[in-house]
Structure formats: structure tokens, C-alpha cells
Amino acid sequence: MSRSQPVWLTEAVTVTALGDSLQQLWDRLMAGRSGIREVEHFPVDQYASRWAAAVPGLTPSGGRTGRSRLHPLLERLFDSMPAADADTVLFTATTKAGIDSLEPLCRGQAADTTGMVPSDVPRLISRRLGLTAEGVNINAACASSTIAVAKAASLIRTGRASSVLVCCMDVITDFVFSGFSALQALSRQPCRPFDRDRSGLTLGEGAAALQFMSAERAAGRNRKPLAAVVGWGMSNDATHITAPARDGCGLIRAIEKALHLSQLDPGQIGAVSAHGTGTVYNDAMELTAIRHVFGDRSLPVYSVKGAIGHTLGAAGGIEVALAAKALAEGMVPPTVGLLHPEPEAESLVSTRAQNLSGSTLLTTNSGFGGINAAIVLKSGSLP
């Protein structure tokens, strides 16, 4: 194999319940604000929760055309995205794409089904951005965009591509809301990650676009690195399709693979952006895995899902963008929604922003199907 190419994140844009830019998201997150509100775009009084972190002002789905809410979300993302070179390789990441178009179809009504299935999404985005190749969508539950970032980084590291764009997205739909309600996974109140009284997750919606380049190509385009992707790892729990392995075995393996590839010891990781959904079992599993990897060391750990909800397939990408921001600012955001930390989390999570010591950050996600993924980012200010 040829010499490994450095992988730089050169652009990151986000659309979330806390605003249409990464800077807005960062500022509001650091101020401890939450985008979680009562759901207005479909009735929820029959479900276990009425809360979600919807993107404000997004055109409701359905209506006369039965068009998915995915389209206005993507338009918001495109509005703030810089142009991509035509030869850029595209990875999209979504779990359910425009599944809200399915409801009118199932009711026997007409619907615009463009974007209803995930395989439509790369074609839609590639054409919109004028890319030569159509790209592919990565679908791995709530680790979809984390894996897409890993695939992007791998292509650049091995010299197979020099410019890769990851676009991730998911919207809040009646379909997904009813399902998590049926699984009794929704928190009755806005979620409280790593809190001893947590009782479930709160859904969110959002999108992110992450431009990755080889260092050489970035220099040629006069792009500065926001951060470098230095390691990644994925694994499957092989225990259950909806519940995490209680001993954290899969997440531990994913983190260890990412550390191995990055040639870093756990002691060199400055902070952890956890999945932190607020469900009893996910957060407990993560704390077990973090303790296994980092021992009794006290390092900043945070979750953003108490502020922007669980954005499903977009979560990993949004969290990578925020992690790059955290590395640049030398701070990690507070865990919004946290009131009384789980005893195991007391020296890790905080209701306030924490200083980030060092230049590396680990970000992780886990999902249905037993999947776990971890990414190690390094500060962009370092060579």
C-alpha cells in the first residue's frame, strides 16, 4: 500500500433544531439551549411523548403533493454548502430518507415518492451538486453517518480519492415516532442523557455536509483543516438487534480499532463525544465501555442529544462537525438535559461546558442491528 494520506475535514455545515449553521449550533449548545419542543407537524397525543427537536420552519410533509420533509431539509443544507469539485466522491447517510411519503401511499393517496427510499438520495444530491458520479448511501442505523465518515477517510487515506463529501440527514416522521413509541423508547419529557433519572430518547432531525480532502488537495485549493480524521473502527455486538450489549463489548472493540489505527493510547484522547441517547441501556452500556477503555481517568464526556435530539442517521455526521468545533475552541459543550449524573458518569459528564485538554477527541455512535462505530479526530491546527 502506498504511504497513508492525511485526511482533513475542510468544511462542515449543519442544519439542526438549533439553527442553520454550525456556528449557531455551537453558540446555542454552549449556552445550554435546547431545540426540543412539542411536535407540531403531525399529531402526537396518542404517543408516549410529545417532544422532539424539529428544525424550525421546515415545510410540513404530506400536503397536496405528499412530498417528504426531507426535501426542504436538504434545500436548507444546500443553501449553506460551498461548491464541491465535480470529481468529489459522495457518500450519503440516512436511515429512512423520505419515509413520510409512505403514509399517503398507504392511505391510497397520491404522493411524490422521490427520495422515499435511501437509494434515491445519492442520486438526488449528486445531481444537485453537479458531481460526476452518483455516489452511494450508507445505511447502518444510528451509526450510518459515522460509518460514512470512516469510509470517506479510508478512501483518502489509501489514496483512492482525494475529495470525498459526506451528506447525512434524517427527518422526524410519524413513521419513526410511532415506532419508537411502540418500543417504549421515547422519554416522556425532553431526554436527559447520562442522568440517573433518564427514561428514554427524544427524536431530532437534521443534516450535515462534511467535506474531506487529502492534505495535498486541500493545500491546492487553499483550504485549511478544521480537523484531521486519524482513526476509525466499527464492530457488531452480535447479541441483539435492538438492545445494546450490556458489557459494551462491541463499542469497546470499535474504540480499540479506532485507537489502533490512529496509533494513540487512551491516555492521549482529550474528550469523548458519546452517543448518549438518554435510554437507560444505551447510556449504561456506554459508561461501561468508556470505563473499560479509559479506566478511572476523568475526561470530559458529553452528549448533544438533550439539545438537538437523536437525529438518527445524521447523528454521527453532526457530532463529527461539533467535535471539530470543540477541538478548535478547546472546549466541549455541556450535556443539555442532565440534572443528576449517573454515579458512574459523575467525573465525566457535566451540565457546563468543559475544557478540552489535548488535541484529540473520540466520537462514537451505536445503533439497531448491533452496530457500533468510533472516529478519532485531531485538532486541525496541528500538522
In the complex, least distance from residue 290 CB atom to another protein, rounded to whole angstroms = 19
Q: Which of 250, 270, 300, 309 binds another protein (CB under 8 A)?
A: 250
Please tell me whether residue 144 binds another protein under the rule CB under 8 A.
yes
* Residue given cell 454515579 in the structure block: 343
Rule CB under 8 A: choose which of 5, 61, 139, 214 binds another protein. 139
Comparing CB distances to another protein, the nearer of 157 and 305 is: 157
Respond yes or no: is residue 142 known to be catalytic: yes
Among residues 71, 167, 168, 275, which one is catalytic? Answer: 275
Contact between 61 and another protein per CB under 8 A: no
Q: Which residue out of 71, 142, 191, 249 is catalytically annotated?
A: 142
Q: Which residues contact 373 (CB under 8 A, 6 or more apart)?
A: 140, 143, 146, 147, 150, 232, 233, 234, 254, 316, 364, 365, 366
355 strand-pairing partners: 331
Residues 73-132 that bind another protein (CB under 8 A): 95-96, 99, 102-103, 105-107, 113, 117-123
**Which residue of 202, 235, 360, 363 would you call a contact of another protein, by CB under 8 A?**
235
Among 345, 371, 375, 377, the residue binding another protein under the rule CB under 8 A is 371
275 is catalytic: yes
Determine the longest span between alpha carbons in the chain, in angstroms.
58
Q: What span, in angstroms and rounded, lies between the C-alpha atoms of 86 and 66?
A: 32
70 binds another protein (CB under 8 A): no
DSSP line for 15-56:
EBTTBSSHHHHHHHHHTT----EE--SS--TTSS--EEEPPT
Toward another protein, which CB reaches closer, 62 or 334?
62
Contact pattern for another protein over residues 171 through 210, marking x by CB under 8 A: ---xx-xxxxxxxx--------------------------
User: Whole-number minimum distance, CB 45 to another protein, in Å?
Assistant: 9
Dihedral sign for Cα 112, 175, 56, 331, please. Answer: negative
Q: Which of 5, 25, 36, 47 binds another protein (CB under 8 A)?
A: 47
Contact between 317 and 208 under an 8 Å Cβ cutoff? The reply is: yes
Give 103 or 329: the residue with its C-beta nearer to another protein.
Answer: 103
Q: Applying CB under 8 A, which of residues 114, 154, 268, 351 lies at the interface with another protein?
A: 154
Q: Which of 158, 263, 355, 357 binds another protein (CB under 8 A)?
A: 158
Crossing angle of the two packed helices 280-294 and 249-262, in degrees rounded to 10: 40
Q: In what order do the strands lie in the sheet with 301-302?
A: 89-93, 163-170, 206-214, 7-15, 227-236, 371-379, 360-367, 271-273, 301-302
Dist. CA 310–CA 324, nearest whole Å: 19
Q: Which of 41, 167, 249, 310 is catalytic?
A: 310
Contact 248, 220 (CB under 8 A): no
SS3 63: coil
46 lies in the site for another protein, by CB under 8 A:
yes
Residue number, 40 or 134, with CB nearest to another protein: 134
Active site residues: 142, 275, 310
